[in-house]
Chains A and B, each alone.
Chain A
Amino acid sequence: MGWFDDNFIPAVDGVAYGLLLFVVAAGLTLAFGSGGVLNLAHGTLYAFAAYTATAVADGSWVGLALAVLAGIGAGAAGGGVLAALTAPIAGRGHMAQAMLTFGVALVGGDLLTTWFGKDDPQVLVPGALEKPVSILGHNYPGYRLAFIVVAIVLGVGGWYVLARTRIGAAVRASVDDPEMLAAGGISPARVRTGVLVAAGALAGLAGGLGAPIIGPSTSVANTVLLQSLLVVVIGGLGSVGGALLAAILVGEVQTLGVTLMPDLAPYLLFATMAVMLIARTARFGPTGSRV
């Protein structure tokens, strides 16, 4: 009981952190898997949404709902811009598109500081969520607990859309065989645009909901991009299930790792990635990117 009790809060926190990363990384992996864009501006979309949500939120429940919607809107709009920008060079491979999105990230980051200032604004959330909640005798921030619940609901919903609906089928088809999809009467270009907007909306959703956890700042875009790239790499490119497991793993490494192996904590994240890459290469060969 002692060990469990001592490490209970970091373990729960790892889930909260992991689920947030999962929502971001799901967008990243979707954009790459079916949109074909390695979107290095994905973190910037998160930052844009987090700033927007922070500007909208006023500490009321309605404000919170509007903030999340505004975040989704901001992310989706950003995704739309990226879709339009990358469309002309869609045929020139991943590198060209990655460079373009990298440029967008740099310009976007600068625009964000111009619009929202260089301060790191704090989100106002309803007072009831600011209070600690007691679980098994421990205090835990109410907002994070609520976030875990919401993220699980969203995850189940997302899985349902992807696995059980026509839109989900089209998205999956665009990953596996875009030509066959086109033959079926659905324009791959429209699916591509739709996928990038949806991926942006996911980053926006994460930014809107996650602003109180990983708040808007001048460095947040890089932090979020780096960690969600890690999630995607560990989980396997294009694999949503893999991304979920990887995100929880990354979350736990960053929370539980700090309490269990404090001296190694700064290196654990990348050590985890290295171990996972070696293990996967050994199992699937150097190109076996999809689990």
Chain B
Amino acid sequence: MTPASPISRRSFRVTSAGLLAGALAFTAACSGSAADDKKGGSSSGTLKIGLTIPLTGVYAALGPDLQNGFQTYLDQHGGKLGGHKIELVITDEGDGPATSVPSVTKLIKQDKVTAVVGLTNAATVAANVQVVNDNKVPMIGAVGRPGKIDKPDYVWHTSYLSEEPGVAAAPYIKENVPGAVYAIGPDYQGGWDQLRGFTETYDKAGGKLANPDGKTKFTPFPGTTNFQPYFTEIKNSGAKAVYTFYAGTAAVNFVKQYKQSDVKDIPLYAAGFLTEGAVLGAEGDAAKGVFTSLNYTPTLDIPANRSFVAAYQGKYNALPTMMSATMYDAAAVLDKAIAAAGDKVTPETVNAAISKTGKVDSPRGSWEFNPSTHAPVQKWYLREVKQDGTALSNVMVRELGTLG
């Protein structure tokens, strides 16, 4: 025992120092909450919500769509969610986990947010699952969602599962395209999931890919800016249609180059992001006639959407995109959950309340969370890019059924 005693004495000192620090922190926390109480009680105190959205990188153009969607809901509800004034803390998602993990960690540890919202990139979500589960803070993603999350305890999505645009579109494409379809997409988590959704469903429906090796062609991400060589391969494959998923700048390059190449007359089907939001404006006429599959179109003619589109257009002078709608819904979900958490609003009680959200009356129609995936059970739509008044728009063609 003797040799061990100096160490144990040192560890005692360390422990007591730690206890002292802990006690100090505890006192500080208590006095902090006491101060809050004086300001008007814990049930109506200001809450912080963290937004992690792309401010830089390939998806930077999507950032404003996300933020504006969330803000539209706040504006319509007096800046409050569930009776609490909301303070937004915004951090950068960047191109993936290298930027987003520190951003989400900072929101949780330093800003002590009640929930983290946003997140466009499926790889970003995957990397942060552990972070939010460990810290027991709900994370509501509004765009990309990796295909498989083993424990989505604190992970929610108001968007979809990344496979679903392809799953929804495949049966329609099999029925309406007389021949093989060429599948192509970006080489990262989001691209793999998106394309797998299409190819698996298409395969089950009895379709055969036009790709020479029978497998999806994946292009380097985010490096690919020149798609000409791939178009040559598509042409040589004899494909009767193309199915793809690209977003951001890559989508603009793909669509513009497509319409100037040998494959310009081959019908182009895609997950909705190919022609969504700012991207569509940049593509211009080259996007005309592109068919996409998504859970939202601003032309959806239901009251909830009409009022959402009017409010959004009034403030931002642009049509809302799917990302604006899913962020709007994220705010709606938090509104309900924070109210349901009652007097004890903590990240944990809010997370528990989210699981009991029930039906959300959304601009895209009513939907609810699937209890096992924590993503929406919702309708899907086939849209075609057409001239709508002075602007191009993703005009509804038909419903593709319910998934989730």
Q: Pick the most buried of B55, B58, B60: most chain A CB atoms within 10 A of its CB.
A: B60
Q: How distant is the Cα of A253 from the Cα of B217 in the complex, in angstroms?
A: 18
In the complex, residue of chain B having the shortest beta-carbon distance to the beta carbon of A217: B249
Closest CB-CB distance, A10 to chain B, in whole Å?
4
B contact residues, total (Cβ < 8 Å): 35
Tell me if B233 and A255 are in contact (CB < 8 A).
no
B139 at the interface (CB under 8 A from A): no
Q: How distant is the Cα of A256 from the Cα of B222 in the complex, in angstroms?
A: 20
A218 at the interface (CB under 8 A from B): yes
A128-154 near B? 1/0 per residue, CB < 8 Å: 001110000011111000000000000
Q: How distant is the Cα of A75 from the Cα of B70 in the complex, in angstroms?
A: 40
Closest CB-CB distance, B181 to chain A, in whole Å?
18
Tell me if A118 and B232 are in contact (CB < 8 A).
no
Q: How distant is the Cα of A139 from the Cα of B223 in the complex, in angstroms?
A: 24
Q: How large is the interface on A (under 10, 10 to 19, 20 to 34, 35 or more residues)?
A: 35 or more
A254 at the interface (CB under 8 A from B): yes
**A258 and B229 in contact, given A118-B60, A132-B264, A218-B56 (Cβ under 8 angstroms):** yes
Tell me if B264 and A139 are in contact (CB < 8 A).
yes
Closest CB-CB distance, A58 to chain B, in whole Å?
14
Q: How distant is the Cα of A259 from the Cα of B226 in the complex, in angstroms?
A: 12
B323 at the interface (CB under 8 A from A): no
A219 at the interface (CB under 8 A from B): yes
A32 at the interface (CB under 8 A from B): no
In the complex, residue of chain A having the shortest beta-carbon distance to the beta carbon of B248: A120
User: In the complex, what residues of B have CB within 8 A of residue A10's CB?
Assistant: 228-229, 232
Instruction: Kindly count the residue-residue contacts between A and B in the assembled complex, taking CB atoms under 8 Å apart.
Output: 87
Cβ < 8 Å to B, chain A residues 178-231: 213-215, 217-219, 223
A9 at the interface (CB under 8 A from B): yes
User: In the complex, what residues of A have CB within 8 A of residue B236's CB?
Assistant: 6
User: In the complex, what residues of B have CB within 8 A of residue A259's CB?
Assistant: 229-230, 232-233
Given contacts A7-B232, A113-B56, A255-B228, 20 further A-B contacts (CB under 8 A): A6-B232, A9-B261, A118-B55, A118-B63, A120-B60, A120-B252, A131-B260, A139-B261, A140-B260, A140-B261, A142-B260, A213-B226, A214-B225, A217-B58, A219-B222, A223-B223, A255-B229, A257-B229, A258-B229, A262-B217
Q: What are 20 of the A-B contact pairs (CB < 8 Å)?
A: A6-B236, A7-B232, A9-B231, A10-B232, A118-B60, A119-B61, A120-B61, A120-B252, A122-B252, A122-B282, A140-B260, A140-B261, A141-B257, A215-B249, A217-B58, A217-B249, A218-B57, A223-B225, A254-B229, A265-B220
